[in-house]
Amino acid sequence: MKIGVLALQGDFERHQASLDNLKVESLQIRNPRDLEQCEGLIIPGGESTTLIKLLKESSLFQLIPKFGAKYPILGTCAGLILLAKEIINNPIESFGLINVTVARNAYGRQINSFIDTIKIELNGKAQKFEGVFIRAPKIVKVGKGVNILGHRNHEIVFVENGHHLASTFHPELSDSRLIHQYFLNKVRKAS
């Protein structure tokens, strides 16, 4: 099993370190040939408008939805925005693979970033998780087929739609590998 980590922008190296910690091979994805070698994909945080531009320049923009029809994708922060079906403020093109509506930069600017304990539920087990929110989006609406896996107070911060996952926070910046492990289990099931 090889997991791709989109490496056009953002903290892709921290996601790779999480995968290394779990003894899983990963590959930085920068072009279509790289993506062909993978059975799962992580789209990290970054700046969503810039990511779209770079995805189009690298010819990956058209391929990721096709990849997602077969293989699981985990999107974190900007990755969630790219996977969302609808963006309500400053709309951008997205892949529409997760049936959620999101608001970009919903907590404010970089200076408003924060860390908070969130509650996640994986495989029927509720657990606490350190959520790192950096210019984070908010999930303002979930549609049909979406399972809510995580909350911060009453806000939805982690969702699952089919074999795709998305979070408003950065799990790669936590010491816990629970979310990456859950994603890897989805990849194994899809293979």
Full 3-state SS string of 153-172: CCEEEEEEECCEEEECCCHH
Decide: 26 and 63 in contact? Cβ < 8 Å.
no
Q: H/E/C letters for each residue in 36-86?
A: CCCCEEEECCCCHHHHHHHHHHCCCCCHHHHHHHHCCEEEECHHHHHHEEE
* Catalytic annotation, residues: 77, 170, 172
